[in-house]
Structure 1
């Protein structure tokens, strides 16, 4: 299991242990993390699983696809240099101990 952390605007920091291969979005939903809406269920057709990656951990993220980049233009909260869609990030050894900040709103 890999430990990832979600930092919510109203919940503080929450640790989630997730198996390798699950998406960060699926791990958040399975753990009941508030703030990850994931309306499309991970099909890259909404932007409601938007997260901000800890800047110190950006090097551990896979490259962003053109589709994810375009979808991030539709996020409800501010798009930042560290913005990613959690449905596009798979839990791996590289993500152990990574922190994801949740935006103020997803819709």
Structure 2
């Protein structure tokens, strides 16, 4: 499973339009189609179904989207935390000293 494919899935689920999602992701439409097909093949279920010129999530796609949203948010929170922890201008400094030196 590819992280980029999950990001592509989330954007396509949001827009429900291949061309718009591809434009928002700054990739070609065939690349987006390929990524979604690969994800669907890996999962063994269709995540989208056609609806006129647009597409919509299948019930399984809606369920999967909830997990993808939570997972990507958790990953983003972890990235943010690491950036804060290595930033020398943020955070806390823990000082330790013995009792005798404290007086």
Q: Same fold (TM over 0.5)?
A: no
Specify which structure has the bigger relative contact order, considering alpha-carbon pairs within 8 angstroms and separated by 6 or more residues: 1
Q: Which has the larger radius of gyration?
A: 2
Q: TM-score range by the shorter chain?
A: under 0.3
Calculate the TM-score normalised by the size of structure 2. Answer: 0.27
- If each structure's helix is expressed as a fraction of its own residues, which one has the higher value? 2
Higher strand share: 1
TM-score by length of 1: 0.27
